Copies of this chain bind each other. A is one copy, B any other.
Amino acid sequence: MPCFSDRFRQELDLLMRWRRDVRRFRPDPVSPALLAECLEAFACAPSVGLSEPWRVLDVRSVRARQAALENFDSANAQALSGYSGEKAKRYAGLKLSGMREAPVQLAVFCDEQADKGAGLGAATMPETRRYSVVAAITQFWLAARAHGLGVGWVSILDPERLCLGLGAPEGWRLVAYLCVGWPEEASETPELERAGWETRRGRLIVEVR
């Protein structure tokens, strides 16, 4: 069993603190070898019943990117209409995705029909399959950040329409649309906090039962 040092733990803490949801990317490309190395973090993620239900589409063509961007623009306009006054003004000023610039864009799905794992652990809480995909995304995010890459998770999307737009196989459910690239800037503070939308609570409150 490998033993980890205090120094490693301090750096891991630093990595988690400097991970950000990145929406501002430099146009520089990401090498396919580097992307492949970061994506290896998917394969060792935890998954319910060892179902490994994660599926990834590398969204590269103009047509596919256009479908994703139009989807975001429409969902974002609708979301804006749900705010009013000062909050609407502030929402309209936020940059909520890097979909126009990010050199790499990945659509990440859960295969709801995957029979790998034979359903173990997913009978009463089938959402655990989607949660396995999220765990894999989180590991990828940290691995990418350790290489200096930024990742931004876009959720302002109509998921079913995006499945159609990207020609996802039947039974795949969208979990995340990820923008990946070299960040324009770095910060320990979330962009939404810097933009005055919301502040971090800072510490976890644990109640005892």
Contacts and interface: CB of A to CB of B under 8 A. Distances in A.
Contacts of A15: 2, 4, 8, 12
A53 to B, nearest CB: 11
Contacts of A141: 46, 135
A60 interface: yes
Interface residues of A, number: 102
A52 B131 contact: no
How many copies the complex holds: the figure is: 2
A209 B107 contact: yes
A208 B60 contact: yes
Contacts of A153: 46, 48, 128
A193 interface: yes
A60 B209 contact: yes
A151 to B, nearest CB: 9
Nearest to A143: B12
B57 A155 contact: no
A12 B142 contact: yes
Given A43-B202, A48-B155, 13 more contacts: A1-B18, A12-B143, A43-B200, A46-B141, A52-B201, A58-B208, A79-B120, A96-B121, A121-B156, A127-B127, A131-B131, A138-B138, A166-B209
